[in-house]
Amino acid sequence: MTPSTPAHIPASRPLTLAAQPFDFNCDLASTALVIIDMQRDFIEPGGFGETLGNDVSLLSAIVPACRAVLTAWRHAGSLVVHTREAHHGDLSDCPPAKRNRGNPSLRIGDVGPMGRILVAGEPGNQIITELAPRPGEIVIDKPGKGAFYATPLHTLLGQANITHLVFMGVTTEVCVQTSMREANDRGYDSLLLTDCTESYFPRFKAATLEMTHAQGGIVGWTAPSAQLLAALAR
Ligand code: C5J
């Protein structure tokens, strides 16, 4: 899907929710929900995540919470962004250093049970059915860990006057954290929903949440999704 700025911009609606290190304030008119890499390759058995030796059931456990937030966010009419870690079929956007790293049984571009690993358009590269993008939502294929690297995301958010981001997705310490740090450097205020993100390594998730809101929110804010759902329902 070619990314484009959605025509619909909701009316101003300020939100305040309890978060760490202190309340997160935003306006739904200028806030986007960013869902990082909830693609079959990472979430479902037989995908790239499992070939790396990971327990993917840890990640699939967050799907109901993500779906509840996405449903409420869509109901509020605010901007939704989905990302996929995806490479061109010729792998021209995949540096050898990335492809050769580690020792997986399958590498990026190899044919796995869900098609070519992390290649755009392949079945394993699709966002899971429960969170499938709808027309008008932005879908970003990103060749890196961060959602802003080599993508039009910053331009599209600017065109939509977005200043605040709410993050969900996987994995917490890799693509989610990298994207939040990129967002921080570009001037966005970001909130990470603690029960809507997961890692194959629980201690890495815990450390990432702590380092996100430490030092007065040096990267951003963290809060459970119940806080956001309550604020949206008020
Ligand atoms: C990884 C990601 N973990 N989406 N990708 O390689 O975090």
Query: For 118-131, how does the pLDDT look when each residue is reduced to its tens digit (9 = 90+)?
Result: 999 999 999 999 99
Strand, helix or coil for residue 20: strand
Q: From CA 145, how far away is CA 84, in angstroms rounded?
A: 10
Q: How many CA atoms lie within 13 A of 193 on its CB side?
A: 27
Environment class of 9 (CB within 10 Å of its CB; exposed 0-12, middle 13-18, buried 19+): middle
Q: From CA 192, how far away is CA 169, in angstroms rounded?
A: 9
Looking up tokens 């939704």, which residue turns up? 80
**pLDDT reading at 3 higher than 60:** no
Instruction: Give the pLDDT of residue 2.
Output: 46
Query: Which residue, by CA, sits nearest to atom 4 of ligand 1?
Result: 175
**pLDDT reading at 27 higher than 50:** yes
Q: 1 or 86: which carries more pLDDT confidence?
A: 86
pLDDT interval class at 143 (50, 70, 90) = very high
pTM greater than 0.85 (yes/no):
yes
Looking up tokens 């194959």, which residue turns up? 200
Provide the 10 A C-beta neighbour count for residue 132.
12
Of 230, 39, 193, 204, nearest to 124 (Cα)? 39
Atom number of ligand 1 nearest to Cα 39: 4
Residues contacting ligand 1 via CB (< 6 Å)? 37, 42, 85, 170-171, 174-175
Residue range 185-203: average pLDDT?
98
Residues acting as catalytic residues = 37, 142, 175
